[in-house]
Structure 1
Amino acid sequence: MKIYHLSHTDLDGYSCQFVSSFYMKNVKFYNSNYGKEIEDKFNIILNQIGDEKAIILITDLNLSLAQCASFENAIKDKEIKLMLLDHHQTGLECANKFKWYYLDNSRCATKITYDFFSAMFGEDEKLKEYCDVVNAVDIWLKDDAHFELGKVCMGAIAGAKEVNKVMFENEHIEYIFYMMNTFMKYIGLSHSHIRLDEDMHSIKKEFFKLLDDDTLSNLNSAYLIRLLSSNKDKFTIQYKGHKGILTHNIGSTSVIGNDFLVANPDYDFFLDITSKKTLSFRANGNLDVSQVAKELVDGGGHVNASGGFYAGFKDAYIYEPIKAQIVDLINKKSL
């Protein structure tokens, strides 16, 4: 039976999934912040499950009473088991009403998840220690021996922006798990928090390195270009007969955009849209993107590098509606 694991987007939330991946192999991971995103991701999971038997595990996310009732009703006629493991006190009312909602505010969600799985499948001392590190920082045990290492781990996960989770969900979680596996190697070392902090740049480079060494920026760019190039159909857009690629919050647009166009000469432009509604265009000499930016959003700039602001853009945590808005904008403005 497959497990669909929905969790929060911080160290504790991702670490819950790290634990479930240690004990279970048939797991699909989804991540969400609070609010409506939880409902949208839950519905995505339901669509993925279809009529199959499955388990939906939710961790480190506290739901509202309305969400709980809605989720329970949604699986009423399906062979789906729902479980929630959390530690936020604001979920107490839900925990008292719904038997599948487990709440314990004395431990972080990662520790709850570890205790749940290890009770069935056995302890693992190294993983248990890692969960203690997460617990120390997540519930802020300042006098705990693991606290300072936990702070570095928390900052590293919060800053793990190199692999966009909207565009590359599976690769993003792979990157997060790689870092967590690395964190475990520092537990018990003298001045572990300082050593991990000093090593983080090299740790990131090692993940992206394929053959030769390079700067982190160049290694990350090469990695993302491989992902974009192997998923061209999903990310391709058209503008007046010119083929382009659309990214979302890709970061380092100048480096990645230009490198992609060099690696893919059949593409004429690269467009990145951010959560702040800004558009960044890059081109390879086959299209004047300053005119494209002007036509689409009254922007402008240079022939091969331009930008603009799309006031009507509504940010999303799923790629498809992001692309749909840009395609619609192009269609309306280029009639």
Structure 2
Amino acid sequence: MRVFHLSHTDLDGYGCQFIAKEFFEHIHFYNANYGKEVLVRLNTILDHITHTPESLLASKFGKTPKHKNTSSEKFLILITDLNLTLNEAHHLHQRIEELKISGIDVDILLLDHHISGQECMQKYEWYNLDSSRCASKITFDTLSLQYPMRDSTRKLWIENLSQMINSVDIWLEDGYQFAFGKVAMGVISTSNELNRFMFDEEHRDYKFKLIESMKEFLDTPHGEVHFDNAVYSIKKTALGGNPQTQTMDSITSNIQVHLLSSKKQLCTIFYKDKRGFLSYSMGGISVLANLFLRQNPEYDFYLDVNTKGNVSLRANGNCDVSLMSKELFNGGGHKNASGGKIDGFKESFAYADIKSQVQYILDKNKEER
């Protein structure tokens, strides 16, 4: 079975995914905050299922008596720590029914604890709501009843993890390792060294490494204090650095540049005869952009745009970004460091949408001149 798992972006949300991978070998992860992003991620999951080779085969032949579905692939959409609106639930349910009619074997399992989802729970049997437990504990308890763990020796640790998250997420001050949970919650919420939109998989894996590191401290005397003291070193190691010889700034910049450099084909933009690199919502790019341009001399400029359409431009002597900013983004600054804003910018959760908006501005300005 192939699992597509959508979850929230806090300790409970990532905890659900950390727990789910203990039960499923073939699992694809997605994360969303509330609002428009939820439906975007759901549609991405549905599109991925629709375009798998197994689904295309099933859709082609269907399940008629003459042409039985030759694919035995099963799909599960697992949603945790997110309550859907009625419109979102209806959209998902309808799309799943359409996939089933076309011969694709897909089910939904939603595990949540937010009482605001009660109306959806009453309408859809796949919508499981229990406000007495956090989503991580619901996930562990539910999956434990339905599936074997991939490594049974980890069961006690995973169960304790779910109990700890439960204590802090629904605020049980007398619950199991509540004090530890407060530290853990803060660590996950502030560990954004790898941008979620540019480095989705790496960002999630980084959170998973931090959660895994809790195992050493969780059930020890004053474990929350020792974990709190060790976090900075743990984060450095999780990012691939040496805690004894490298600063966090150096480690973070190096891994970010490495990851960005691996995305050259996707993120390259052009303005006139200049080649640029486009990132989305990285923020604070001065050190990062200059290091990227030094290590990738074929690029003339670096451009970052945030969710509000604010633009930061950096160069390394190969072009005047102050002129670019003035011409394109009603901004200005210095030759190698400038900023501006995109009028009418449309926020998106898909990098391709951001790139098309920026490249359109670059091309339009070039044509007008």
Confirm or deny that 1:293 pairs with 2:319.
Answer: no
Distance in 1 (CA, whole Å) between partners of 2:228 and 2:317 is 42
* Corresponding residue of 1:265: 297
Q: Which moved more, 1:71-80 or 1:121-130?
A: 121-130
* Corresponding residue of 1:76: 97
Residue deviations 1:14-49, cap 9 Å, x none?
Answer: 110000112212000001112222111111111111
Distance in 2 (CA, whole Å) between partners of 1:191 and 1:177 is 22
- After the TM superposition, list the runs of 4 or more consecutive aligned residues in structure 1 that deviate by more than 3 angstroms: 210-213
Residue deviations 1:162-200, cap 9 Å, x none?
Answer: 111111111111111011101222102222222222222
Deviation at 1:145, TM superposition (A): 4.2
The residue correspondences of 1:241-256 to structure 2 (distance < 5 A) are 241-256=273-288
Percent identical pairs in the alignment equals 43
* Corresponding residue of 2:12: 12
| Structure 1 residues without counterparts, runs of 5 or longer | none
Secondary structure of 1:85's partner?
Answer: strand
Distance in 1 (CA, whole Å) between partners of 2:302 and 2:320 is 12
Q: Which moved more, 1:166-175 or 1:194-203?
A: 194-203
* Corresponding residue of 2:2: 2
Amino acid at match of 1:74: R
Amino acid at match of 1:313: F
Secondary structure of 1:15's partner?
Answer: helix
Deviation at 1:276, TM superposition (A): 3.6
Secondary structure of 2:22's partner?
Answer: helix
Secondary structure of 2:97's partner?
Answer: coil
Secondary structure of 2:47's partner?
Answer: helix
Residue deviations 1:308-333, cap 9 Å, x none?
Answer: 12242222222111111111121222
Distance in 1 (CA, whole Å) between partners of 2:168 and 2:351 is 32
Distance in 2 (CA, whole Å) between partners of 1:329 and 1:281 is 15
Deviation at 1:210, TM superposition (A): 4.9
Distance in 1 (CA, whole Å) between partners of 2:224 and 2:277 is 40
Distance 1:312 1:239, change over 3 A: same
Instruction: Give TM-score scaled by structure 1 length.
Output: 0.96
Distance in 2 (CA, whole Å) between partners of 1:141 and 1:193 is 16
* Corresponding residue of 2:67: none
Confirm or deny that 1:177 pairs with 2:208.
Answer: yes
* Corresponding residue of 1:310: 342
Distance in 2 (CA, whole Å) between partners of 1:194 and 1:277 is 41
The residue correspondences of 1:107-146 to structure 2 (distance < 5 A) are 107-119=133-145, 120-121=147-148, 124-146=155-177
- Measured on the aligned residues, the alpha-carbon RMSD in Å equals 1.6
Distance in 2 (CA, whole Å) between partners of 1:196 and 1:19 is 20
Amino acid at match of 1:153: A
Instruction: Give TM-score scaled by structure 2 length.
Output: 0.87
Contact 2:40–2:349 (CA<8 Å) still a contact in 1? no
| Structure 2 residues without counterparts, runs of 5 or longer | 56-72, 100-104
Residues matched between the structures, number? 335
Amino acid at match of 2:98: D
Secondary structure of 1:187's partner?
Answer: coil
Confirm or deny that 1:233 pairs with 2:260.
Answer: no
Distance in 2 (CA, whole Å) between partners of 1:311 and 1:197 is 44
* Corresponding residue of 1:328: 360
* Corresponding residue of 1:63: 84
Amino acid at match of 1:179: L
Contact 2:134–2:169 (CA<8 Å) still a contact in 1? yes
Larger radius of gyration: 2
